[in-house]
A and B are shown apart, each in its own frame.
Chain A
Amino acid sequence: MTVNLTPDVRVGLLGGPSSNLFDGLASEPVDVLVLDTSHPVTDPLTDWVLKPTDLLFARFRGLLKSGAVDPIVVLYLDPAAPSPNHDWPIAEAAFASLQAVVQSLAIEHPRTRATTVRARRDQEEAVRDLVAFLASPAGGYVSVTTIDLRSAA
């Protein structure tokens, strides 16, 4: 897992492998932080909950210190298909932790637009469209909310 903590990089990894999904996201005027749980890990408590929470706080701190005004999107990716080996309780804990950080820090820091998005790993088009919407003027009043694309049709 590689993470770039410099504020000017538009896509940062909180956990999981890099992907060309992010290429499309990086061109939008929005900061996207991604936790991808679609690949198995040996220690989901550490790799999905503890480390990404640490990194998310660090990224927020960096973005806020840089005076970033672009919206922040925290993107949580589930596996494309249900798997019996996926630790669902810990996955839910991971998602909840990210949501809590995003929402709590957004209300603590006025005028910070921050949103959590949840999607399956194979929903690339839906993710790109949503991120573009959140980066656009039409998405300007969307903040402190979670958007779940898994049931999007």
Chain B
Amino acid sequence: MKLLVTGGSHGIGRAIVLQALAAGHEVLAHGRDEAALAELAEAGARTLAGDLLNTEVLARVGSAAEEIGVDSVVASQGVAGDGALNTLTPERIRRVMEVNTASVIRLYDVLKPGLRQRAATFVLIASQASLRPEKYDAAYCASKWAVLQWVQALAALEAHHGVRVRAICPGRTTTALFDDAMAGFAAAAGMPLDAYTEMILELIPLRRFASVEETAGATLFLAEHGPRPTVLAETGGEVPYFTSP
């Protein structure tokens, strides 16, 4: 594959870049952290730094993807959106929606001609928060529900053009973003972090969080060409997923 990973500096995106390189794929890694991208470049990735909320950066990502002939995309950019309603400022709410929802939709629009030409795959990293409401997480839920439903509607339309649009809904995966979110949830619930963590583990049938390598591997499974589900829930059972007739 010739894979573009946006939001590839850290966390799940970074793990995807590294696993894809190890599997012999060509990778264009986008992110905001130039130092982190430099490490990925040493590992063999092409890199491109910038904020996807900037239209010039978006255009450069599009051009670079076209130049390489990208035939698979993983949109991994995202920001946490946890917090009780009285702590969520309008600015933060908007930022969460811009990064987690709007930037993905705009990215697809920029890449669409090339993706159609190459019958590519486009995988979005949604969340288990796409699958249920969560208290102290309304802004994040809004952004992830929106983008998951967009994927499901778009998948039906773009299939006619040969593009497979898919989403993975990871559960609690150990990354810095997750650590920050857990601290935020614990604070909102008025609990010490270790007690909150213990309570959360009891809710997960597998009684553990996902490793970033697991989630990266599951995402790459969806990114591959070949028949794959439109939505893959990877939640350790914490959030059951089912489809209605």
Q: Which residues of A approach B to under 8 Å, CB–CB?
A: 45, 49-50, 53-54, 57-58, 60-61, 64, 88-101, 103-109, 144
**Which residues of B are at the interface with A, using a C-beta cutoff of 8 A?**
84-86, 88, 90, 93-94, 97-98, 101-102, 105-106, 133-139, 141-150, 152-154, 157
**Pair B138/A49 contact, Cβ less than 8 Å:** no
* In-complex Cβ contact of A57 among B138, B144, B149, B152 (8 A): B138
Task: Give me 14 other A-B pairs in contact (C-beta within 8 A), A57-B138, A101-B141, A108-B138 excluded.
Answer: A50-B102, A54-B93, A88-B157, A89-B105, A89-B154, A92-B149, A92-B152, A92-B153, A93-B150, A95-B149, A99-B145, A100-B142, A104-B142, A108-B85
What chain B residues lie within 8 Å of A98 (beta carbons)? 142
Residues from chain B with a CB closer than 8 A to the CB of A88 are 153, 157
A49 touches B145 (CB 8 A): no
Could you say which residues of chain A place their CB within 8 Å of the CB of B133?
100, 103-104, 106-107, 144
Residue of A54, A96, A99, A106 with most chain B CB atoms under a 10 A cut-off: A96
Tell whether, in the assembled complex, residue B98 and residue A97 are in contact, meaning their CB atoms are under 8 Å apart.
no
How far does the alpha carbon of A130 sit from the alpha carbon of B28 in the complex, in Å? 51
Q: How far is the CA of A94 from the CA of B88 in the complex (A)?
A: 20
Known: A50-B94, A92-B153. A107 touches B135 (CB 8 A): yes
Measured between beta carbons, the chain B residues less than 8 angstroms from A90 are 105, 150
Asked if B144 and A100 sit within 8 Å, CB to CB, the answer is yes
CA gap between A41 and B134 in the complex, in Å: 31
Tell whether, in the assembled complex, residue B157 and residue A89 are in contact, meaning their CB atoms are under 8 Å apart. yes
- Cβ contact within 8 Å between B149 and A49: no
Counting chain B CB atoms within 10 Å of each CB, the highest count among A88, A89, A99, A106 belongs to A89
Q: List 19 A-B contacts (CB under 8 A).
A: A45-B102, A45-B106, A50-B94, A50-B97, A53-B146, A54-B94, A57-B90, A57-B138, A57-B139, A58-B90, A60-B85, A89-B153, A92-B149, A93-B147, A93-B150, A96-B148, A104-B134, A105-B85, A106-B133
B85 and A61: CB pair below 8 A? yes
Cα distance A98–B88 when bound, in Å? 16
Q: Give Cα A88–Cα B85 distance, bound, in whole angstroms.
A: 29
**Nearest CB of chain A from residue B38's CB, rounded to whole Å:** 33
B144:A54 contact, CB within 8 angstroms:
no
| Residue of B with least CB distance to A44 | B105
